[in-house]
Copies of this chain bind each other. A is one copy, B any other.
Amino acid sequence: MELFFSQDIHDGRIRLDPEESAHCIRVLRHRPGDEISVIDGRGNLYRCELDLADAKGAEGRVTAMTPGFGAHPYHLTMAVCPTKNIDRFEWFVEKATEIGVDVISPVIGERSERKVLKTDRLRRLTLSAAKQSLKGTVPQVAEPQSVRDFIAGAPAEALKLICYCFDDVERTPVTAALQPGSGRPVCILIGPEGDFSPEEAALARANGWIPVQLGPSRLRTETAALTAVTAVYLSTV
């Protein structure tokens, strides 16, 4: 199934932007009367009968709507320090979207080698990955912020887990820390190649974050992050 994306949906009509229109009309050669599938990125799938096959602005009429299309039974925010090699972070963003994540929040730690990050490219990645894996919701990509700001600003009701590798305190296995079925949103914090600083870890604990560990294997930042997403996903399977 080929999915298109639009947020220009009013009064039972859908309009595709120029990029989506060109793909729909010029590349896939859809014609008036054809039915296409459109996601709004907010969870809804629409069936749409094209009546205006304009390669700059295709339009059609909504014939059916499915809420919660491709939804997962949890709410997960992944706060991850971007890797020095950006390809690895982009790989995480694509795979996390495919498995199921709600918010990707790039965070900059004291030991982060990468301090800046362009989020527009990441947003294009989440959109294409959501379409490819048939999800109505496109994960939100937040603007980068410091680890300290993220720790302090995380919602009080969330289950907050921080993954790091040093043994300052007993760390719970991530699978034991999760509370599937509790309905609590989950925030998981993953550090940079050089790990969090002891001060960042202490600040997190002081703010109600639970130190967790991802097992004995020495995982790269992006692998640790995807392993955490998979742990949350599998806990509800």
- Residues in A83-109 with C-beta less than 8 Å from chain B: 91, 95, 98-100
Nearest chain B CB to A85 CB, angstrom units: 13
Identify which of B213, B227, B233 contacts A99 (C-beta below 8 A).
B227
Nearest chain B CB to A208 CB, angstrom units: 23
Identify which of B100, B134, B217 contacts A233 (C-beta below 8 A).
B217
> A174 contacts the other chain (Cβ, under 8 Å)?
yes
Q: Are B233 and A234 in contact (CB under 8 A)?
A: no
Q: Are A99 and B217 in contact (CB under 8 A)?
A: yes
Q: Are A234 and B175 in contact (CB under 8 A)?
A: yes
Nearest chain B CB to A130 CB, angstrom units: 11
Copy count, this protein chain: 2
Nearest chain B CB to A45 CB, angstrom units: 13
Q: Are B98 and A133 in contact (CB under 8 A)?
A: no
Q: Are A133 and B237 in contact (CB under 8 A)?
A: no
> A70 contacts the other chain (Cβ, under 8 Å)?
yes
Identify which of B91, B134, B230 contacts A230 (C-beta below 8 A).
B230
- Residues in A194-215 with C-beta less than 8 Å from chain B: 213-215
Q: Are B218 and A237 in contact (CB under 8 A)?
A: no
Contact string against B for A residues 213-237, beta-carbon threshold 8 Å, 1 for contact and 0 otherwise: 1111111100100110011011111
Contact string against B for A residues 175-199, beta-carbon threshold 8 Å, 1 for contact and 0 otherwise: 1000000000000000000000000
Contact string against B for A residues 127-170, beta-carbon threshold 8 Å, 1 for contact and 0 otherwise: 00000011100000000000000000000000000000000000
Report 7 cross-chain contacts, Cβ distance below 8 Å, ordered by A residue: A91-B91, A133-B218, A174-B237, A214-B237, A215-B236, A226-B230, A234-B234
